[in-house]
Amino acid sequence: MTSELTPRCPYQEAERKTGFDFDHQPGIERQGEVWHLRSYAAAKQVLRDSQNVLQGASTDNVLMKRLRPPVIFQDGDEHREQRTAIARFFTPKTVQEKHHAFIDLLTERLIVRLQRAGRADLSDLSMELSVEVAARVVGLTDSLQPGMDRRIDASLSSNDLNLSGKANTDVWARVRNAATQSHSLLRMSSFYLIDVRPAIQARRTHPQEDVISHLLSKGYNDLEILVECLTYATAGMVTTREFIGMAAWHMLERDDLRQAYLAGDRTERHRILHEILRLEPVVSTLFRKTVQDVTIEHGGAAHHIPAGTRMILDIRTTNADESVIGAEPLTLCPQRALPSGVQGQALSFGDGAHRCPGAFLAIHESDVFLHRLLSLPLHMVGTPELTLNEMLMSYEIRNFIVECHEDSGEGVRLSGTAAHPAR
């Protein structure tokens, strides 16, 4: 089929990997008491309407009511103040001045390990990278032992964390469950004992420029800080890990895309990464609740959603809404012309008050690592294992084995790629 994208988009055969055979059409649908928002405009309206729409952090759990909720479940003034206070940890200037050199160094360490071994599981490398980078922003830098990535995995996957007896239905539910635990969580969690508590103790005497120091200055207790750390682990570490895997997969499969990425300046490389993230949103579902009546216009009709209604925002479908994204929305096309106000990654970082504060950091660290990785003579061994974690509504890539043969003549050789270029 000929399309208007033909002359501009060279990667037309590269398509969404994470369709999982149940893609929907953009639109708005009521199913019982729940509204499903699958149009880009509707989802954006709801995400930006912080007057009438909330995260819905309220819970009947007594302990949760007594705890300060983590940032992701805050609303209103409390949330605004928190976001204003932490914004300084995520600015492009902070990322460049405080984190870039570390990301570069860590990348080199991971690359040398890969080169020495000749092969590696990319999902392990990307987890280590994303955990260590986010840990510095949070202030988790005083661990008593190595292996924080494994302890985080264990803390987040523990069934013991779910006291509700119901299946979790969103990517942040693990955090909510963590927050509903009794203080025994503190005793049983090796993540707390080995990573979080030492960080808190160090910052009580010597505050630093990081999230934990900020929370201490606001009087947060240990349990509240642990829950906030688990929020960052879910929101910042797990997400970035999966995204790096997905971006590498697309580029290792499409040599033309990989070459364009390696040859591009930073703007071009970020454009490619944003387009991959649009097509393959790691957080595929967001949840909201109306606190006032809300009206959404869609397809010539007005949909009246009463106060107190739960809404499920289907980000994979909103990101492929042809009316906004343009023709062939399920095709990877970094050159697509998006209307003004629509970002390259569409709603993959959310929007409005809760929009991801780590968006720039995530793309920057992914870029530093991927640029170095993909300039190696590297190829995939078999097809990575791709699953949809239905509990989290997020994809997971595992067993992503790559091999690196310096003498094979394969891959891409660029001069001067020993460290990530500043451009």
Per DSSP, helices labelled H in 118-232 are 122-138, 148-157, 173-179, 184-188, 190, 197-205, 211-217, 222-232
Q: Report the residue number, 75 or 403, with the smaller CB distance to ligand HEM.
A: 75
Choice from 46, 53, 64, 134 touching ligand HEM (CB under 6 A): 134
What residues numbered 286-305 form the site for ligand HEM, per CB under 6 A?
Answer: 286
Contact pick of 357, 376, 393, 395 for ligand HEM (by CB under 6 A): 357
Q: Which is nearer to ligand HEM, 294 or 361 (CB)?
A: 361
Q: What are the two backbone dihedrals, phi and then psi, of residue 277, each rounded to the nearest 5 degrees?
A: -70, -35
Question: Which of the stretches 31-39, 103-111, 233-241, 263-271 binds ligand HEM when contact is defined by CB under 6 A?
Answer: 233-241
Long-range contact set of residues 349-355: C-beta below 8 Å, sequence gap at least 24: 349/277, 350/47, 350/283, 350/286, 351/43, 351/44, 351/47, 351/48, 352/44, 352/47, 352/48, 352/49, 352/50, 353/48, 353/50, 353/75, 353/79, 353/80, 353/83, 354/47, 354/55, 354/72, 354/79, 355/47
Nearer to ligand HEM, 365 or 403 (CB): 365
Cβ atoms of residues 265 and 423 within 8 Å:
yes
Q: Does 235 bind ligand HEM (CB under 6 A)?
A: yes
Q: Which of 338, 359 has the CB closer to ligand HEM?
A: 359
Beta strands 301-305 and 53-54 are unpaired
Q: Cβ closer to ligand HEM: 294 or 404?
A: 294
Tell me which residues in 197-226 interact with ligand HEM (CB under 6 A). none
Between 134 and 311, whose beta carbon lies closer to ligand HEM?
A: 134
Alpha-carbon distance of 106 to 89, in angstroms, equals 19
Question: Residue 17, Cα to own-chain centre: how many angstroms?
Answer: 17
Residue among 354 and 411 whose Cβ is closer to ligand HEM? 354
Burial of 99 (0-12, 13-18, 19+ CB in 10 A): buried
Binding span for ligand HEM by CB under 6 A among 61-69, 114-122, 231-239, 413-421: 231-239
Please tell me the distance from the alpha carbon of residue 379 to that of residue 360, in angstroms, as a whole number: 28
Which stretch in 17-25, 248-256, 257-265, 347-355 sits in contact with ligand HEM by CB under 6 A? 347-355
CB 40 within 8 A of CB 323: yes
The contact mask relative to ligand HEM for 157-196 (x = CB under 6 A, - = no) is ----------------------------------------
Among all chains, which residue has been given the structure tokens 């508590």? 197
The residue within the footprint of ligand HEM, chosen from 233, 282, 320, 332 (CB under 6 A), is 282
Query: What are the residues whose beta carbons fall under 8 Å from the beta carbon of 187, sequence distance 6 or more?
Result: none
In this chain, which stretch among 97-105, 294-302, 345-353, 409-417 interacts with ligand HEM, using CB under 6 A?
A: 345-353
What would the x/- binding string for ligand HEM be over residues 1 to 30, using CB under 6 A?
------------------------------
- 243 is a contact residue toward ligand HEM (CB under 6 A): yes
Q: Which positions lie near ligand HEM, rule CB under 6 A?
A: 71-72, 83, 134, 137, 231-232, 235-236, 239-240, 243, 282-283, 286, 348-350, 354, 356-358, 361-362
